[in-house]
Amino acid sequence: MVVLGAGGIGGTIGARLHQAGYDVALIARGAHGEAIRGRGLTFVTPEERVTLRIPAYSHPRELSWRDDDVVVLAAKSQDTEAAARDLAGAAGQVPVVSAQNGVANERTLARWFDGVHGMCVMMPTAHLEPGVVQAHSVAATGILDLGRYPGGTDAVDEEVAAALRASRFECVARPDIMRWKYRKLLTNLGNAVQALCGAGFHSDDAGGEVLARLHAEADAVLAAAGIDPVTEAEDDERRGDHLQLREISGETRAGGSTWQSLARGAGVETDFLNGEIALLGRLYGIPTPANAGLQALMTQAAARGAAPGSMSAAELRAALSG
């Protein structure tokens, strides 16, 4: 299996598959890729800290591709098109599993690949230091259900699901995987709020008000578009007690993926989260000022290199009400 994008999500998937004895290759660029190729991938959990010598490459063209290879794409959504072009040029028609937030990646990948699969990722991880990834759950490392895009399942889904289950993940093949990914999209609408306001925004009345506005707009546009996500109750039942978070000794737990991107000075994927709601609003004539406004604020924050927690929840509420 080839994991393209070896950050918190991709690095954890690659590490667990490698530990379970599967043949894995990582594709990682920049300082992170150089660190993995130089000293190995350091994988940290509440139970262990190990350095794994997993084959790692900087570009898909460096691999010798086999007919049975499957790619798990764990790059950020803003990098999907470039990754697809590189992958198609090097590997041709290879099955690609989108282990990414948002719901736009699968459609993008389908421009190049016949076999596209969506994966709904529920996995608390962190990647802030080159060559190092952290995973925080001690029961299942994550819940990684998957299915064919736009619907159904096939042998690739079953094969990947079996490998992941053998590698300390919860995973089932689902014919309606995009309904699960739309529910995950709704949970990710607060990612940018956490990045701008810090982890404590949930306990602030202003933060709660912002979240309520984001979700109200999202519910309206999804209804207008005829999109039916799985319910919160179904999502809660699936999560169950599989994810049991524990502190990693000597480490302060980082925020979510958008928080981490802002902390690293990397691009943020808000355009494909809150921006997806803004897009649907424009297509179906539904106003989405909170989601569109939050998208714009995150674009500005990333452009000026702002640190996470650079504004209060009250300041954010005021900015979105102006």
Query: For the chain, how many structural domains are there in total?
Result: 2
- Using one digit for the tens of pLDDT, what is the confidence trace for 38-81? 999 999 999 999 999 999 999 999 999 999 999 999 999 999 99
- Using one digit for the tens of pLDDT, what is the confidence trace for 122-171? 999 999 999 999 999 999 999 999 999 999 999 999 999 999 999 999 99
- Using one digit for the tens of pLDDT, what is the confidence trace for 198-248? 877 766 789 999 999 999 999 999 999 999 999 999 999 999 999 999 999
Cβ(83)–Cβ(162) below 8 Å: no
Domain range for 21: 2-177
pLDDT computed for residue 202 by the predictor: 67
Residue 155 and residue 65 in one domain: yes
Asked if the model's pLDDT at residue 307 lies above 80, the reply is yes
The CATH code of the domain that includes 160 is 3.40.50.720
Residue 203 and residue 173 in one domain: no
Q: Measured in whole angstroms, how far is the alpha carbon of residue 252 from the centre of its chain?
A: 21
Asked if the model's pLDDT at residue 3 lies above 80, the reply is yes
Of the residues 153, 177, 201, the one at which a domain ends: 177
Of the residues 135, 155, 177, the one at which a domain ends: 177
Q: The tokens 């459609």 sit on which residue?
A: 107
pLDDT computed for residue 85 by the predictor: 98
Going by the DSSP 8-state scheme, the letter that residue 202 receives in this structure is G
Instruction: Examine residue 182 and state whether it is found in any structural domain, yes or no.
Output: no
Secondary structure element (H or E) that encloses residue 147, with its range:
strand 142-148
Residue 162 and residue 210 in one domain: no
Instruction: Examine residue 295 and state whether it is found in any structural domain, yes or no.
Output: yes
pLDDT computed for residue 103 by the predictor: 98
pLDDT, the chain, mean = 96
Instruction: Examine residue 231 and state whether it is found in any structural domain, yes or no.
Output: yes
Q: Say what percent of the chain tops pLDDT 70.
A: 99
**Residue 150: is the preceding peptide bond cis (ω within 30°)?**
yes
Residue 213 and residue 173 in one domain: no
pLDDT computed for residue 94 by the predictor: 98
How large is the average pLDDT for residues 86-113? 98
| One-letter amino acid for residue 237 of the chain | E
